Homo-oligomer: A and B are copies of this chain.
Amino acid sequence: MVEKTRRQAIEDAASALFHAHGYSGTSVRDIARAVDIQGASLYAHVTSKQDVLWSIVERTAARFEAAADAIEAADPGAATFGRGVYLIALVRAHVGVVTDDIERASVFVHEWRALEGHRREEIARRRDAYEDRFRTVIADGVRAGAFHAVDPVATAAYVLTALNGLVSWYKPDGRLSARVIADTYADLSLRAAQAPRMPA
């Protein structure tokens, strides 16, 4: 299956363009040019520009959710047992999804606001639920004494925005591999949350 459907090629091109210029900075003719057809011909494959954005954002949201779900599936005890382990797994999962396809991840992170109506609300809700996984593991860790007693909401926001910040600097062929970044980011996130081993 080296074949790629036209629809897939269009979403690939749109992801790259939305990543580079934003949703409203990209015209349907720009997307069409990237796949070498006329602007109007796009509509044989796609029902609207909004629809292309929705496809990209929704599928990427699902990938983030699936990656996080897989952690609990792999080790049902981790969520309630070792908070450090669970937080590390969440961070690695998130970094993995981002580095696996930055363009789509970038569109998910920055362009979901361009969605209209109930679709925007749905993504807002799902983003909040996803962020809540971070808030919960941190709050649990604080309660158990494993994590430093800072505000779990602020801590989760700090960590998650740091991870999302990857979309603005990660380059697949850069000096730092996805693997190294995952290691480093997991380390930094855990250290930020963790209680000191010895009181100062």
Tell me what chain A mostly uses at the interface: helix, strand, loop, or mixed.
helix
Chain B nearest CB from A128 CB (Å) reads 11
Query: Which of B23, B24, B110, B196 meets A110, CB within 8 Å?
Result: B110
Tell yes or no: A159 within 8 A of B by CB. yes
Most buried by B among A148, A158, A175, A176: A158
Tell yes or no: A73 within 8 A of B by CB. no
Instruction: Tell whether, in the assembled complex, residue A157 and residue B165 are in contact, meaning their CB atoms are under 8 Å apart.
Output: yes
Tell yes or no: A192 within 8 A of B by CB. yes
Instruction: Tell whether, in the assembled complex, residue B187 and residue A150 are in contact, meaning their CB atoms are under 8 Å apart.
Output: yes
Chain B nearest CB from A46 CB (Å) reads 21
Q: Which residues on B sit within 8 Å (CB–CB) of A2?
A: none
Query: Which of B168, B192, B200 meets A192, CB within 8 Å?
Result: B192
A192 to B87, CA, bound (A): 14
A154 to B23, CA, bound (A): 28
A44 to B10, CA, bound (A): 42
Chain B nearest CB from A87 CB (Å) reads 13
Query: Which of B24, B161, B176 meets A151, CB within 8 Å?
Result: B176
Tell yes or no: A54 within 8 A of B by CB. no
Tell yes or no: A129 within 8 A of B by CB. no
Q: Which residues on B sit within 8 Å (CB–CB) of A22?
A: 22, 24-25
